[in-house]
Amino acid sequence: MRNRLEEILKNIEISHIKKILKKKLLKQYHHEDPSLKSSNLDDNNRSSLIHAYYQYIWNSNFSSPVENNLKGGANVIDLGCGHGTWLTELSTKYHNSNFIGIDHNEIFPSEKISENLKFIKHNILNGIPYEDETFDFIHIRFMTRYFSDAEWKTLIIPEIFRVCKPGGWIEIMDTDITLYNSGPKTENLYQKINDVFGHRKISMDRLQDIMNIYQDLGVTIMKEKINAWYPFKPQNSDKTFEMASEFLTSLYPLMSKVLKLNQENYTRLSNQILEEIAKNKTYGKTYRIITQKHL
């Protein structure tokens, strides 16, 4: 992985980066009222952007071998579904399958998206409100910041395996806690974002250990992806860099209040962060834990 990353870094074109910066750093941040807290619409746009980014990085919405099951007809649940972006996309693609989203915050769509998709407001610490062996595919992502080691071990993992059918698949996705090659301004904002949204309470390595222990001799697979935020030509030109710019834009209503910055100063800081990202070749890592329940 390290050699592959170094090979990618060697292909960086400085002139290409400067061209993108010239285009992106002049972008203005338009909001009707900068003093307002991030609205549900802002949050939804950010959720859609994050979904698009990781779908692009992984070139997929999941890594479990469930494609044929979804085409034929499967029961799928997304725990901690948030705005329901992942479910909305899959439910419109796989019409024969049934999809359920659960979240304790009612930020998912209130209107009906499709006949094969529904959302439920529920705290999964109180259990998953379905019978044993109900689901063919159980999906969780970006939830390591919300539950402790003990909660995963004694409450969540046992419930996941309980409602999973024998032979069904479980997939948990989240990012690394570290941002690599980050400059001082980028690192400071990253820490502030974690302060706002919550720091991770359990590592993916530890979560994998818990799943292996729970299933005795069951085997989980940990897949890793490098999440480049800087522009690099061999694979994706400037797309991830543009997404980094859009992500900073989406954070404006919330982070400008946290940082006590007006629109002009936030724009200036965002431009400086984009310069750091391009110069330092900032990247992160994302992991997917995949396991199949014993038959």
Q: What is the pLDDT along the chain (295 residues), one digit of tens a residue?
A: 444 444 444 443 444 444 444 444 433 333 333 333 334 446 777 888 899 999 989 999 999 999 999 999 999 999 999 999 999 999 999 999 999 999 998 889 888 889 999 999 999 999 999 999 999 999 999 999 999 999 999 999 999 999 999 999 999 999 998 999 999 999 999 999 999 888 889 999 999 999 998 877 667 999 999 988 887 555 545 788 888 888 899 899 889 999 999 999 999 999 999 999 999 999 999 999 999 998 8
Per the structure, the count of domains in the chain is 1
State residue 37's pLDDT score: 36
Question: What phi-psi label fits residue 147: left (phi over 0), alpha (psi between -120 and 50 degrees) or beta?
Answer: beta
The pTM for the full model equals 0.83
State residue 30's pLDDT score: 32
Q: What is the CATH number of the domain that holds 263?
A: 3.40.50.150
Residue found by looking up tokens 């980014």 in the block: 53
State residue 241's pLDDT score: 85
State residue 33's pLDDT score: 33
How far from 229 is each of 49, 146, 245, 270, 278, CA to CA, in Å?
13, 25, 9, 14, 8
DSSP three-state, residue 142: coil
Whole domain around residue 250: which residue ranges?
Answer: 2-292
